[in-house]
Amino acid sequence: MRKIIDFYLNGFSNLPNWARSIWFIVLLKLFIFFFIFKIFFFQNKLKKEFNSDEERASHVIEQLTNPQK
């Protein structure tokens, strides 16, 4: 396991500046996708509106089986 860690650390430390910039951009985008979007766009609506798992499950089943009017 130590050899694998050394392999990656050595590889990343020898990257040219342009490659480090690319990795920074990739990691920044991943941070935005997984943390910022989760906070603002994917809030847990079911957990706020219903108190138990049974209520959540019945609401989801109702929404899936009843056509929207």
Average pLDDT for 42-64: 87
Amino acid 35: pLDDT: 87
- pLDDT level of residue 40 (50, 70, 90 thresholds): confident
pLDDT above 80 for 3: yes
Q: What tokens were used for 36?
A: 């910022």
- Whole-model pTM: value is 0.52
> What's the pLDDT at 69?
56
Ranges of beta strands (E only) in 1-69 are none
Domain coordinates in residue numbering, the chain: 2-65
Residues 6+ apart with CB under 8 A from 60: 46
The pLDDT of residue 36: 84
